[in-house]
Structure 1
């Protein structure tokens, strides 16, 4: 059976952060995830999640200077000390929080930069990060991101990410397959699920509608087909990951709230 995690950085923005955890529980989510929780005391986050009987599926490692446009440090030349600090900080927070995995953002490729050199740096740093994650008992993920939302991001395609993970060969380093990004870059997300999930290299899924990144039940994404494929393959292989709901609610106003856009999730729950 599929397990869904509410992304607290995207959903329930009509509520204070900790109250979003309560709302996620009330709406039937089994887990939560978020981007960068580091301004929130970890004990407050952990206690609220535990009080609601939820799990933390994923957090992101610090990405560098987000306000200045940085989108990860893992491939950036000359930034190894900051990258290592970001991983150590993320793993300490994840361990204290009980988060199952940490997403490590690759970073942007500067104009004119040598992509192969950036990929090589990325691989070396991921190998080190995976070793640290293994010691902490935390899984790490890398995620291809579409160039419409994030121009110049180093990693765009599933085959690129899987090649890196396969080459490194660390059991706790996986690919984060975001159906929204995948559909926008490669199309036919159902086929991508069927191609990549059986490899054992997918650690986490995320979902949103295409192209507007709203609820999955609007737009071009075959969300029913994709979720059915994940469910089918999970049943056959024993995969026990999460589907993170990382989208911008079309009805996310204070007056109506995120919950009003969850008819698609309630319909799935009613069939199980």
Structure 2
């Protein structure tokens, strides 16, 4: 059965960030993920993981000015040096935290730049990052995100991601498959997973509509979990949803599947 990781950016956000590790462990999670670790001391994060017996499952590469609306810089031709510095920083944190997967957000396509230039930039950056991460035993992931939530986001579908991975030509580049984003983009959650399973290294979830916890929307979660298990997926599933009320009140779905 897949393992569930609490996304601490989204869950338990009624308390300060460093207090969320304890709550995740208390709720029964064995792993955690979150957007970015870079505002926190590496040793303090590692101590929290060790204290509560948690695995650091995933975090993202530095993604530019997040508060200012940027959602990644990997496709931006004028930010290549910054991207490369971010690779080095991400490796430092991932190594300190024992994190074996780092996600690269492509970014929002800037107006007036051709798709050829954007793709060339993205592919070049991914080649460098995949090679550098591989030296440290860390997998690099890319995540398709729907354009309703992030208008203009460059990478939208697993098919597009697979095409880019083929062009990069690295054995160390994989897909982060977010079930919520796939549901909004085109549905066919299981069919799409089957098609790209060989390159899917991480799965995330939220229900739709609303991006709340499983059981609040239209997705048939018992079927999804059962089928992922039957297909042999034994990786982590990151719970990247917005609790409809509080995190604790919305954890019934986790209890229902025996976690």
TM-score (norm 1): 0.92
Give the Cα separation in 2 of the matches to 1:117 and 1:95: 32
The residue aligned with 2:66 is 66
The residue aligned with 2:244 is 250
206-215 or 107-116, which deviates more: 107-116
Give the Cα separation in 2 of the matches to 1:150 and 1:241: 26
Give the Cα separation in 1 of the matches to 2:169 and 2:224: 27
The residue aligned with 2:254 is 265
Is structure 2 residue 38 aligned with structure 1 residue 49?
A: no
Give the Cα separation in 2 of the matches to 1:242 and 1:40: 24
Pairwise CA distance, 1:266: 0.8
Give the Cα separation in 2 of the matches to 1:88 and 1:240: 29
Is structure 2 residue 90 aligned with structure 1 residue 96?
A: no
| Stretches (4+) displaced over 3 A | none
Pairwise CA distance, 1:84: 0.2
206-215 or 59-68, which deviates more: 59-68
Pairwise CA distance, 1:222: 2.4
Assess if the C-alpha contact under 8 Å between 1:64 and 1:73 holds in 2.
Answer: yes
Is structure 2 residue 174 aligned with structure 1 residue 174?
A: yes
The residue aligned with 2:112 is 112
Q: Unaligned stretches of 5+ in structure 1?
A: 253-257
Secondary structure class of the residue paired with 1:243: strand
Give the Cα separation in 2 of the matches to 1:56 and 1:116: 36
The residue aligned with 2:225 is 227
Secondary structure class of the residue paired with 1:175: strand
Pairwise CA distance, 1:93: 0.6
The residue aligned with 2:188 is 188
Is structure 2 residue 83 aligned with structure 1 residue 83?
A: yes
Give the Cα separation in 2 of the matches to 1:57 and 1:141: 12
Give the Cα separation in 1 of the matches to 2:139 and 2:188: 27
Secondary structure class of the residue paired with 1:206: strand
Pairwise CA distance, 1:201: 0.4
Pairwise CA distance, 1:32: 0.2
Assess if the C-alpha contact under 8 Å between 2:21 and 2:48 holds in 1.
Answer: yes
Assess if the C-alpha contact under 8 Å between 1:145 and 1:153 holds in 2.
Answer: yes
Is structure 2 residue 163 aligned with structure 1 residue 163?
A: yes
Q: Unaligned stretches of 5+ in structure 2?
A: none
1:210-242, CA deviations, whole angstroms, 9 ceiling, x for partnerless residues?
Answer: 1210002111222222222211112xxxx4421
The residue aligned with 1:255 is none
TM-score (norm 2): 0.96
Alpha-carbon RMSD across the aligned residues, in angstroms, is 1.2
Pairwise CA distance, 1:111: 2.2
Is structure 2 residue 18 aligned with structure 1 residue 18?
A: yes
Pairwise CA distance, 1:117: 1.8
Secondary structure class of the residue paired with 1:84: helix
Aligned length: 259
Assess if the C-alpha contact under 8 Å between 2:77 and 2:117 holds in 1.
Answer: no
Give the Cα separation in 2 of the matches to 1:125 and 1:72: 12
